[in-house]
Amino acid sequence: MTQPKSPGCIRFFCRNCAKIIENPEQKKDTYVYLCPDCKEDQVTFGTEKSIKHFFHLK
């Protein structure tokens, strides 16, 4: 059973693709994540509300 997505859940945002992504790959044992689409490490994370506010998304 999957959990419903609430606004307070952690989301990942790829700066290269400019979209919220699901299930990025973690690079080794660090807080660096790889985008599954573009394979770059320009992925940031935060709550959905904070990502939308910081990156001016609707």
Residue 1 has pLDDT above 90, yes or no: no
How far apart CA 28 and CA 1 sit, in angstroms, is 28
pLDDT at 7: 61
pLDDT at 5: 62
Cα 14 from chain centroid?
6
Q: What is the pLDDT of residues 6-56, one digit of tens each?
A: 667 899 999 999 999 999 999 888 899 999 999 999 999 999 999 999 999
pLDDT at 8: 73
How far apart CA 28 and CA 58 sit, in angstroms, is 32
How far apart CA 9 and CA 38 sit, in angstroms, is 23
| pTM for the full predicted model | 0.79
